[in-house]
Structure 1
Amino acid sequence: MDANAWDERYAASELVWSVGPNQFVEAECADLPPGRALDLAAGEGRNAIWLARRGWEVTAADFSQVALDKGRTLAGDVDVAWVCADATAWSETGAYDLVVIAYLQLPAAERREAVRRGFAALRPGGTFLLVGHDTSNLAEGTGGPQDPRVLMTAEDVLADLAGEEVEVVRAERVARFVTVADEHGAEAERTAYDCLVRLRRP
């Protein structure tokens, strides 16, 4: 989807994503010392706001101005820099201690561009964290995009950074448990599969 389509999706509901941070972003970043962070393809800013509340100086970038406006409202007096920008065209290099890309839904070539640009934005010693819908979720999991072109594996993300010097902290498939209505209308717990890639830039 292009920016206009995402604008329409964000405008159609109060919140597309949850108010709180993604569970994997929270777990992986909780012990990092605050510095300067970039939430690339930030959507409504749930991860950016959480980081800012923990003392980070945060830039939240997304190509949907509607999403950013909603994030700014959600943030209230929490200080976040909201920037309307395409993740595949981000050009700030060597500027951040942390770059987060969470659930970016792009075909492989565009994803590769965003991943490489996000990684390039890191300072030496910085952390790169990507969480996305795993390819296996289509057949084995629940929810998430049903277009295989925008799904990925940890191996795909590592391949996106071929030629870069990286220190791999984690690169694997992870399970996320979600509550859905079953065929009888009762609540049931199902498993969604994500890929998680955490890297350090030497």
Structure 2
Amino acid sequence: MDQRDWDARYAAADLVWGAEPNRWVVRETAGLPPGRALDLAAGEGRNSIALAAAGWQVTAVDLSPVALDRGRRLAAAQPPGTAGRITWVHADATAYTPEPAGYDLVVLCFLHLPAADRRTVLDHAARALAPGGTLLVIGHDTSNLTEGVGGPQDPAVLFTPDDVLADLAGAGLETVRAERLRRPVAPGHARGQDQGGGPAAEAVDALVRLHRP
């Protein structure tokens, strides 16, 4: 999908991915001291807003101006100080080059790309990570096609934890966690949305958390 496709998708719904942050982002960042965070493919900003509310200074990057505008409006409705801690950046994650060693946390949450583009974004993300920082990669696992629900149906843009680790081999990062996780999903929900009521199936997510010594 290109920018026009994403703009149309965001314009057609109030909140495509919901207002609540992804449960794995919440779990994995809960014990981290707030610093500078980079949210690549931030969408409507649900994770960026949650991080900013917790005290992080966040750079939220997305391809869609429609999504970013919605994120700004959502952030403005949060408690005082939250919106001021987020910088919204319109950019394609595959072309965006973040500040080297500039971030204590880098999040890629449900950014699904062909393998070559994924490696490019992961390389940029790793280079952006400051010493002591955390890189968090979350997405639909390849096995979600046969064992889960929702998400992209093109296996070329899905990945496993091992794929991410292979992409980042040689980046100087230590693996904290690399696992498949099951997440309850309400009917009709897909990209990182948790159960919102009604009978739920399960999505299979890939999660990789790495640390720069």
- TM-score of the pair, normalised by structure 1: 0.94
Give the equivalent residue in structure 2 for 1:89.
Answer: 95
User: In structure 2, what is the Cα distance between the partners aligned to 1:90 and 1:200?
Assistant: 22
The secondary structure found in structure 2 opposite 1:187 is: coil
User: In structure 2, what is the Cα distance between the partners aligned to 1:98 and 1:157?
Assistant: 17
Give the equivalent residue in structure 2 for 1:164.
Answer: 171
Show the 5 A alignment for 1:32-181.
32-76=32-76, 78-79=83-84, 80-91=86-97, 92-180=99-187
Structure 1's unaligned 5+ residue stretches are: none
Deviations 1:102-137 (A, max 9, x none): 000211111111111111111011000010010000
User: In structure 2, what is the Cα distance between the partners aligned to 1:125 and 1:4?
Assistant: 38
User: In structure 1, what is the Cα distance between the partners aligned to 2:36 and 2:165?
Assistant: 23
Deviations 1:137-172 (A, max 9, x none): 001101111111111101111111122111100011
User: In structure 2, what is the Cα distance between the partners aligned to 1:201 and 1:95?
Assistant: 12
Give the equivalent residue in structure 2 for 1:8.
Answer: 8
**Structure 1 residue 180: deviation in Å?**
2.1
Contact 1:175 1:191 (C-alpha < 8 Å) held by counterparts: yes
Contact 1:7 1:66 (C-alpha < 8 Å) held by counterparts: yes
- TM-score of the pair, normalised by structure 2: 0.90
Compare 154-163 and 45-54 and name the one that shifted more. 154-163
**Structure 1 residue 90: deviation in Å?**
2.3
Q: Which runs of 4+ in 1 moved over 3 A?
A: none
Structure 2's unaligned 5+ residue stretches are: 189-196
Contact 1:41 1:102 (C-alpha < 8 Å) held by counterparts: yes
**Structure 1 residue 6: deviation in Å?**
0.9
Paired-residue identity, %: 60
Contact 1:88 1:114 (C-alpha < 8 Å) held by counterparts: yes
User: In structure 2, what is the Cα distance between the partners aligned to 1:60 and 1:150?
Assistant: 22
What is the count of residue pairs matched by the alignment? 198
Deviations 1:50-79 (A, max 9, x none): 000000001100111111011001111522
The secondary structure found in structure 2 opposite 1:180 is: coil
Deviations 1:6-47 (A, max 9, x none): 111111111111101000000000110000000011011100
User: In structure 1, what is the Cα distance between the partners aligned to 2:187 and 2:6?
Assistant: 24
